[in-house]
Amino acid sequence: MAERPTALVTGASRGVGEAVARALAPTHRLILGGRDRTRLEKLAAELPEARAWPVELTAVTERDVAGVDLLDVLVHSAGTVRLGRVADTPAQVWRDTMEVNVVAVAELTRLLLPALRAAGGHVVCVNSGSGQRANPGWASYAASKFALRAFADALRLEEPSLRVTTVYPGRVDTDMQRSVREQEGGPYEPEKYLQAETVARAIVAAVTAGPDAHLTELTLRPRSGPVS
């Protein structure tokens, strides 16, 4: 019996990352990446052929990925957001946002490229509506997501043996969205947002598309509620 394909999901301890892990669990062996060891280990215990990979994504080294020789799917779901107008956003916020949302993604992908090439793998970057349109108060986050889009586009061209998909969800009912709404000073209205499971199903659709198909971009928006 052939082994299941292997998927590494970052941000797997909650939100979209956790939903993606659960959606891939019936068909994939899972490496669950993130900082919250307790939550990752709890999730790994619930899923077949899953293991926790507690790590600080902004400080990943070759040692951290040692032993990952064949990787079929890499889902970048971890991210951070700090809102603020340009006039009120200090340099450190820009640096921190870029470090998590772009640099960590690029470095982890670079380290795992041999394993991805060996499998003819698939890289999925969970982007945002902010990666397609910048709004007032969102400059640092939108800039990081525009950069993430450029990273994925370049990777797709540089690595023709891989499939690379960028997913642009609108607002999703997650802990991060609660933080965003607190920063915006508005009410939290989950009925107006996408569900994390919905985004996960779209990602699974891209990952499980036939070998002749390459879903390069997917855009999801709530049927009602805010567009961004």
Instruction: Answer whether 54's CB lies under 8 Å from 36's CB.
Output: yes
Of the candidates 41, 25, 26, 31, the residue with the CA atom closest to the CA atom of residue 8: 31
Instruction: Answer whether 112's CB lies under 8 Å from 74's CB.
Output: yes
Q: Residues 143-177, buried b or exposed e (16+ Cβ, 10 A)? A: bbbbbbbebbeebbeebeebbbbbbbbbbbbbebb
Instruction: Answer whether 9's CB lies under 8 Å from 24's CB.
Output: yes
Asked about 141 being catalytic, the answer comes back as: yes
Report which DSSP code applies to 172.
B
- Catalytic one among 141, 168, 188, 193? 141
CA gap 12, 9 in Å, rounded = 6
CB burial class (10 A; 0-12, 13-18, 19+) of residue 1? Answer: exposed
CA gap 197, 22 in Å, rounded = 9
Catalytic residues: 141
